[in-house]
Amino acid sequence: MHLKALLCLLVACYESAASLNTENATQKDFPPLLLISFDGFRADYLKKYSFPNLQKFFSAGVLIDHLTNVFVTKTFPNHYSLATGLYAESHGILASHMFDPVTKKKFSLEDDTDPFWWNEATPIWVSVQKWGYKSAAAMWPGTDVMIQNHTSTNFMKYDSKVSFRERLGNITTWMTEDNSVKFAALYWEEPDHTGHIFGPENTTEMTRALKEVDDDVGFMMEHLNNSGLWGKINVIITSDHGMVQCSKDRLIKLDQCISRSSYTLVDLTPVAALVPINDATDLYKNLSNCHPHMKAYLKDAVPDKLHYRNNERIQPIILVADEGWTIVQNGSLPRLGDHGYDNSLSSMHPFLAANGPAFRKGYRMETINSVDLYPLMCHLLGIPEMPNNGSFSHIRCTLVSEKCTDLAVVVGIVIGVFIVLTTLTFLFRLMKNRDPSSSRPFARLELQEDDDDDDPLLE
């Protein structure tokens, strides 16, 4: 009972200290923030390959081993989730290919600049501008789109031929020439590109691609240092999703189950989106028994955990392939590596590392949700959060200002102290019981010492 009371007291102190620290943090200065995404950087690459520069970056900062990202685990939905803190069903960028049933508009990675698709959410670069600051972006998805009548203040039109170093050069120029640039975002296509072509199990190619990524991290640190920004700005390196090996032996062929004349295909693999031409129930019945490694859902029955139901752009039938399986209509394997699968799969998870004045040094966490990054970034920039699915409390211990003690350690110490005290009490009582003199009342003992000869009862 005493232990329980003590624990409650400690938890209460812990929570009140946390809220106090949060209030204090809002009164501080807010250094600029640079957010970098290396597309398709699967979390466990960090364990399997060598990253001397990245290691240097997070050894003096923060490393979060893996992020549970959002479904579908594709590039555009996840980059928009990082920037808004919302699940795909709430921000509206639901897949690489979309169809809007009301306007009949279509979205693809090659045709993505219609604000219609992006306006359901407010990305952080738009919020930054609404609060009187400026932003800079190098090809981060959406930053060149007029979202709520704003592109990023500075931005680059997407061009895959522009090198990482040139993108970084533009970002640092914008940041150093104008100190009202408070938020910058940089997107880079590797290691996603190599992962798709060769598959993540091709260690020769992945070693080469990941060494280039690590070299770019090294260049970034050196370049920020030469620009006078290193140590003065906060830098976060993360990614949108992981990557898994596919195989020609793991193909799911829709033509073997349904007729092409019975549906319109909006998106294909590993999450397919179908619009039935006639009756959805019949089509669904055929698809639900189509392949043991593919799950079929009517839109209303998509599991809650995927947060992929409440949006008009989610099509009436959704098919989800198991890890490493590829859905085709009747073709051959399109690529050796892919992503997009269930976001609970660790192969789909990216990592996060951070370094800068706001972050602890040498701090490590196992996991957060990728939507938790948005409230952290708002906190770092001192701007209010828009409604979102993330939680600052999940990630706040990465910050120097938060002074949070690991609750598990505190509980461990309390339990340890309790065990020691209980053991000592027990031993003391045991020794006392074994000592025959201790059976005498203390008062009588005193009596014995003070007035031994005169007391007949002690004889």
Q: Which residues bind Zn ion (CB under 5 A)?
A: 39-40, 75, 192, 240
Closer of 240 and 372 to Zn ion (Cβ): 240
Closer of 32 and 40 to Zn ion (Cβ): 40
Q: Which two tokens stand for residue 269?
A: 């693999």
The count of other CB atoms within 10 Å of the CB of residue 449 is 7
| Residue 143 annotated in active site | no
Nearest-CB residue to Zn ion?
Answer: 75
The CB-of-383 to Zn ion minimum distance in angstroms stands at 26
The CB-of-74 to Zn ion minimum distance in angstroms stands at 7
Catalytic option among 68, 73, 75, 153: 75
The CB-of-334 to Zn ion minimum distance in angstroms stands at 16
Closer of 40 and 92 to Zn ion (Cβ): 40
Q: Which two tokens stand for residue 102?
A: 């009301």
Q: Which residues contact 430 (CB under 8 A, 6 or more apart)?
A: none
**Phi and psi torsions of 337, nearest 5°:** -130, 145
The CB-of-106 to Zn ion minimum distance in angstroms stands at 20
The CB-of-78 to Zn ion minimum distance in angstroms stands at 7
Cis-peptide, bond into residue 72, ω within 30° of zero? yes
Reference 287, options 254, 240, 335; nearest CA is: 254
Residue in the block written with tokens 């359901």: 120
Closer of 109 and 420 to Zn ion (Cβ): 109
Catalytic residue numbers, as ranges = 75
